Structure 1
Amino acid sequence: MPSNDSINTTGTADIPRAIDITGLEYGHPKGQHWQLPRWQVPAGQTVFLAAPSGAGKSTLLSVLAGLLPVSAGQLSVLGEPLHHRRAAQTAPWRARQLGIIFQNLNLLDYLSSLDNILLAAHFAGRRKSDTTAAARELLARLNLPEALVHRRASELSLGQRQRVAIARALINNPPLILADEPTSALDEDNSRDFMALLFALVRERGCTLLFASHDQRLSDAFDQRLNLNDVSLPL
């Protein structure tokens, strides 16, 4: 894992930054707080964030998504100054600019695979007629059988649900993907397949990917690798 000094990536002065942090303090209002002095992620990079339990991984991802407020410091995500924004103000921006793959996937079990994806497009202000074909194409690319496109999410296997979650995260062509332990419930073979599918689509679309996990075996394929404990200090 790189040291604190190496996380400010060099040789990328002309590349826009997907994430730019200075003196960030963050945490839950009544819970643990952390400080992250400096961190920059150039646009288009893939970043593996090693995050042991209790390191504040999910809290940081919620802050980067504009779901939790910044206590102090500066935080720019895709050029959006989140340190000046309340969570309610970031909802339209988040729907259009971010793709989020949650640890528990957060699919709506009563909706079909297709409708889970179209709902994300709806929140981004896109018309169903404009996104149905794109959603079907994504599911096909992710090897979800056509017979399952209209199957309720509750009736899918875990691997199939993972594929729907990837498609939902990518449907709006977001410049940044945040993934929170998305392989934690998968065996080694399914985890490898999931990562191959995710990387293929992220590389193809030029997305920035921030992937938080405790599984160091997954880290080799990423452009940048760091341990959250090395860059974020408890307050």
Structure 2
Amino acid sequence: MRTDSNPYKIFSLVLAGLCVPLIFTMTLGAAAVTGIKTSTKYATLYEEHSVGGLVYAILCQDSLHRFGEFLSVVLAMSTVCNNIPNMYSIALGAQCFWSQFARVPRIVWTIVGNCLTLAICIPGYYSFESVMENFMNIIGYYLAIYDAITFSEHFIHIRGFKNYDVSGYNDKSKYNPGWAGLFAICCGAAGVVIGMDQTWYVGKVGGKIGKYGGDIGFELAGTFAFIGYNLTRPFEKKYFGR
């Protein structure tokens, strides 16, 4: 890509490339789930075989039959393609986490990541929906903390892209010490604990919302992390100079 490419055009094309397939897929998923309420056959297969049973009911039974079975296999195999970028990024993430990890070939980190994923997936298979739902909820809480720290640093302390010193990207002496970020993560985690409302845990604050409780762990996590980071970041800059 040319360095003088129009940034607004790039942003618009990337946004459209993400939104169009995601919105279409989520709309299709919502339509598929409504079949559970309108068809006892769909509901039975979903209850017995989770999402896979619902997909099989839509594509195969009273529909595409043998060709639907072929599509089900292709759909199942497509998850392998979706995991390839994730497994590759595990190697990059490990090497960024600690410089000494760069001595280990990336293929080793990829193999280790696949083994760990397999170890999690095998027991998770037997309760896929609940495991996936709980996992996605935990990721959501983390994103609130991450966004609060990132946006605070970008807009309040660095104040725009022009003030980034990209020349020191590989020089640890120019990095933030990270104590403010660590404190913000702890504050955000505290917000999650008191604000979440899940089947396996209900926080003190989340449980007081309405008759059955309400999950505000995401909001409290972001708020607590934002406050914690911006309270401690000035001291970090004062005493560490970066």
Band of TM-score, shorter chain = under 0.3
Would you tell me which structure has more helix in proportion to its own residues? 2
| TM-score normalized with structure 2 length | 0.22
Higher relative contact order (CA 8 A, sep 6+): 1
Would you tell me which structure has more strand in proportion to its own residues? 1
| TM-score normalized with structure 1 length | 0.23
Larger Rg: 2
